[in-house]
Amino acid sequence: NALVNNITTDDLVQKSREDECTLLLSTHAEVACDALLDIVECICYPPIDSSDEESGKKSFFEESVGEEALLSPLASDELIQKLAACAIKDNSPLAVTASRAILELFELATGRSKKTASSPAMDVSDNELNDQARAQIDAENISPENNNKLLKSGLTTTMHAKLISNIHLIIEGLCIGKNMETQTTGESNNCDSVRHPGRCIIQHPFNSRRLNLITVLADILCYKDYKVNNLSSKHTSLRGQPCFTSSHAALDLIMELPSPLEDDGVDENKVYNPWPALCDLVFAYPENNLFQIQFYRLIHALCMTDHEASLKIVVQKSKFVSRALAACKAADPVSLHGVLLRCLNALRLHSQSISPQSYLRNYLDSHDGWKAFQDELRRKTIEQQLPGGGIDVPYNGGEINKSQSVVEIDLGSLFADQLGFDSKLIKPYDGSINIFDEKSESASSSTTKKKKKGKKKKKKK
C-alpha cells in the first residue's frame, strides 16, 4: 500500500507515531475517567462498616467531611461545557471518554449508576406480590436521596440545571436531524460497513459516543424534582411523588430548536429538533436494543411531563404512531415489536389518565388505525406477560396447565407500574375531581354522608 500510494518511510513513521500518541492519549483519558468516577463514588456513597456498633451514633459533624466543597466542581458550568464540547467531536479520540464521563457522573449524582442502583423490581408474572412488597419497591424507587450526598446537598439539582443550559451541545453531538435520508437508510460514505453477529449489516454504525449522549438526554428529561412542593406545582405526580418541572423546562428549550420537517433547506451546521430523527433511528436500527431502552425512556418522559408540543411532533408530525402500528402488523423485523409495544402501551396508559380535552387523547381517539389496533395491542401485551408467551407450558410431572390467569394491563395494574405509571392513578380521568389530593376525596365523601343523614332526620319528623 505504501508503494502504490507513493508514501515514504518517513511518512509511515510519522503516521505511526501519531497513531501511538492518539492511542496513548485515549488510554490515559480512560484511566483518568475511571479514577474520577471512583473518587466521586467513594465520597457520595462511603463504604459502611457493619462491624462498627457506634456508627449509628455519629453526629452530623462527624459524618460530614466537607463533601459539598469536594464535589462542588462537578456542578460547575466550566466542567460541563468542556466535557460536552469534547464529546460532540465525532473524530476526536477523547469524545467517547468525555461522553462517558458526563453520563456516569450525572448517574452517580442521581443514583441511577449501576454501582449504586437498588435491586430490580419483581417480575410482573409474580402473583404473590403483596401490598407490603409493592410498597417496599415503591419506597426504593422514589427515595434515592436517603443515601445520596450529592442529592442531599443540592449539587444534583445544580448539575441538572447546567446540563439543561448546555442541552444544545448534547443534541449537536448526537449527529442526528441533519440529513434525514442518512438516518432512515443508514447510508454514509465516511464509515465502512459493519457485519453484526446476526443477519444485519450496518452501513453507519451506532457508536457508543452517540448512545452515551442519548442516555444523558434521557436522564435529563426523566429527572425528578424531589424538593418541589408537589401540590402547588403544575407538573406534579401523584401522592407526594416527585414532579417533572425541570424536565418540562428542558423540553421547552428543545422545542425552540428548528424542526427539520419544516425547514426546506437542511443546513449541516444547524442544530435541529431531535425528535423526528430519534423516531427515525428506531426503525433504522431495529437490532439496537440499547438504543431502544433509551428511546422508551424518552417517550415515557413525554408522557410524565405531558408536554403537548413534543408529543405533537412525535406522534403526529413524525408519524410515529402510524409507523409503529404498521411495523407491529408486519412480520419483519420482529426485534422492533418489543419496544414498539411498550411505547404504544405507554401512550395508551397516559391517555387514560389525562383530561378528555387534552391533545393526545383527542388525537388517538380520532386515529382510525389506533382504534382498530386496540384489541390486537391488548392481546399481544397480555401474551407477553403470560408464561410461554400465550403457549401452554408443561409444568412438573409433564402435565400441561391450560388454565391461564387474568392479566391486568390497565392503570392500577402491576404491568402499568413497571412501565413507570403510578399504580394509584384512577381511570378514566374526567376532570371533575383532583386525583392528586386525597383530602378533597375524603371531604366530598364526608359531606355526602352528612347530607344523607340530614334527609333521614327530616323524614322521621
- Answer whether 0.85 is exceeded by the pTM: no
One DSSP character per residue, 169-215 reads HHHHHTT-SS-HHHHHH---SSS--EE-SSS-EESS---HHHHHHHH
Residue 227 resides in a domain: yes
Three cell numbers written together for 425:
392513578
Number of other residues whose CB lies within 10 A of the CB of residue 450: 10
For the chain, the distance separating the N- and C-terminal CA atoms, rounded to the nearest angstrom, is 110
C-alpha cell at 359: 391533545
Does a structural domain hold residue 457? Answer: no
- The reply to whether 33 falls in a domain is yes
pLDDT in tens, the chain (461 residues): 333 344 444 554 455 555 555 555 677 788 888 888 888 888 877 766 555 444 444 444 445 557 777 888 888 888 888 888 888 887 677 888 899 999 999 998 888 876 655 544 444 444 444 444 555 555 444 444 556 778 878 888 899 999 999 999 999 998 886 544 444 333 344 445 555 555 556 666 788 899 999 999 999 999 987 654 334 444 444 334 557 889 999 999 999 999 887 766 666 678 899 999 999 999 998 889 999 999 999 999 999 999 999 999 999 999 999 999 999 988 777 888 999 999 999 999 999 888 888 999 999 999 999 999 999 999 999 888 887 666 666 666 655 555 556 788 888 888 888 898 876 655 544 444 343 344 444 444 455 555 555 554 555 54
Judge contact between 222 and 160, C-beta under 8 A: no
- Greatest C-alpha distance within the chain: 115
Q: How far apart are CA 157 and CA 145, in angstroms?
A: 12
Which amino acid would we find at residue 221? L
Cell numbers for 333: 423485523
Within a domain: residue 197?
Answer: no
Is residue 149 domain-shared with residue 259, that is, in the same domain? no
Same domain, 226 and 151: no
Give the C-alpha separation, 446 to 443, whole Å: 5
Q: How far apart are CA 267 and CA 275, in angstroms?
A: 17
Please tell me the total count of domains within the chain: 2
Same domain assignment for residues 154 and 247: no
320 part of a folded domain: yes
Query: 195 has which bridge partners?
Result: 201
Do 381 and 266 lie in a common domain?
A: yes
Question: Are 225 and 342 in a shared domain?
Answer: yes
Residue 204 lies in a domain: no
Q: Do 423 and 324 share a structural domain?
A: yes
Q: Exposed, middle or buried, 128 (CB in 10 Å: 0-12/13-18/19+)?
A: exposed
Q: Which of 107, 136, 165 is the last residue of a domain?
A: 165
- Same domain for 149 and 226, yes or no, is no
Residues 155 and 216 in one domain: no
Both 344 and 224 in one domain: the answer is yes
Neighbours of 180 (CB within 10 A): 16
Instruction: State whether residue 385 is helix, strand or coil.
Output: helix
Helix (H) or strand (E) holding 300: helix 289-305
Residue 188 lies inside a defined structural domain of this protein: no
Contact (Cβ atoms closer than 8 angstroms) between residue 382 and residue 388 = no
| CA distances, 131 to each of 120, 127, 135, 416 (Å) | 17, 11, 6, 15
Residues 268, 157 share a domain: no
**209 near 87, Cβ under 8 Å?**
yes
The C-alpha angle 414, 422, 298, rounded to 5 degrees, equals 100
DSSP label at residue 5: T
95-110 vs 9-44: helix crossing angle, rounded to 10: 0
What is the SS3 assignment for 23? helix
What's residue 44's pLDDT? 79
| Whether residue 232 is found in the same domain as residue 90 | no
Q: What pLDDT sits at residue 325?
A: 95
**Cα distance between residue 93 and residue 91, in whole Å:** 7
Q: Which three cell numbers stand for residue 21?
A: 500518541
**Distance (Å, rounded) from C-alpha 216 to C-alpha 274?**
14
Residues 215 and 160 in one domain: no
Domain span at 267: 211-389+407-438
How many C-beta atoms lie closer than 10 Å to residue 53's C-beta? 8
Per-residue model confidence (pLDDT) at position 438: 42
Q: Is residue 55 part of a domain?
A: no
Nearest in space to 217 (alpha carbons), one of 171, 267, 263, 283: 171
Instruction: Supply the pLDDT for residue 42.
Output: 83
